[in-house]
Amino acid sequence: MSEKFFWEAVRDALKEEMIRDPNVFLMGEDIAIYGGAYGATRGLYEEFGEERVRDTAISEAAIAGAATGAAMLGMRPVAEIMYADFLTLAMDQLVNTAAKNRYMFGGRTKVPLVLRTEGGAGRGIAAQHSQSTEAWFNHVPGLYLVMPATPYDAKGLLKTCIRDDNPILFVEHKMLYGTKGEVPDEEYLIPLGLADVKRAGKDVTVIAYSKMVLESLKAAEQLAEEGIDAEVVDLRSIKPLDVDTIVRSVRKTGRVICVSEGCKMNGVASELVSVIQEEAFDYLDAPVRRVCAADVPIPMSPVLEAAAVPSAEDVVQAAKDLLG
């Protein structure tokens, strides 16, 4: 094991897959000479050259469209959209073309495309650079959605995504790049659709993903000091979704909190509540709680931004409410 930053884990996954498969190449704004907005591609341009690490024009539609075409012709592009907010500019290419072409051509073509992007709040860069947009894309058949919380998961999942034959949106929370964690020195892969129980517990289940996993683990430590044993389930991939792990945890605890940095209205947490109601209703001892961002544009003010998105304290309060 080596301790690595989140951004290093992402970079190492890209590097290893580029060495393994000459069809893997990178494209996006400022990913080559500059090394990416958050440094996740630094050094790769120097190692692999401009043919395989390509700076693109400032056009998200062009990036997504070109990557989709390259994937259909046998390449394995890893494209980067600098902020998840800018995915709106690539919506047609991603949602109506990349996600649907394998189905519409009856399987005669594949779209092995990974689109990396940075999401989430925390840097005080306001409403057009801080959104959690994952719920929009979770609604799209044919498109996978992966959101890791740790360096270990980021590397193992990204390598799996690059080898997959379907279009995948890989969302990296911008506040995770500076976090550290242990990463194996040898090669490893993490299957899609397999959640991870980051902390075992018996009193309440906390289901989260991306940065909210770290907030949920903080909350679990605080709750433990008060005699409440919380289980934290990290989804890792939102689509495909590991329903079995969710149901097993609900059976054990009987109480559930779904945590998401996305807005509460029609968000990922709402989908989780529906899944639990359909698959594990008889095991619930209390209504499922959602802890989500406020239904407001993310403010630029650090104080207001912090108030708009969930925190460990919000999870703690939700658990106390559930347990009476």
List, by residue number, the catalytic residues.
Answer: 60, 129
Judge whether 259 and 310 are in contact, CB under 8 Å. Answer: yes
According to DSSP, residue 293 is labeled E
Contacts of 19 (CB under 8 A, 6+ apart): none
**Closest CA relative to residue 64, chosen from 29, 34, 30, 33:** 29
Tokens coding 253: 């605890």
Q: Is 35 helix (H, G, I), strand (E, B) or coil?
A: coil
Q: Which amino acid makes up residue 133? A: T
Could you give the CA distance from residue 178 to residue 11 in angstroms, rounded to a whole number? 13
Could you give the CA distance from residue 234 to residue 197 in angstroms, rounded to a whole number? 6
Could you give the CA distance from residue 308 to residue 292 in angstroms, rounded to a whole number? 9
Containing 25, the helix (H) or strand (E) segment is strand 24-28
Could you give the CA distance from residue 32 to residue 44 in angstroms, rounded to a whole number? 7
Judge whether 210 and 236 are in contact, CB under 8 Å. Answer: no
Containing 160, the helix (H) or strand (E) segment is helix 151-163
Angle at 285 between CA 279 and CA 288, to 5 degrees: 60
Judge whether 285 and 317 are in contact, CB under 8 Å. Answer: no
Judge whether 241 and 235 are in contact, CB under 8 Å. Answer: yes
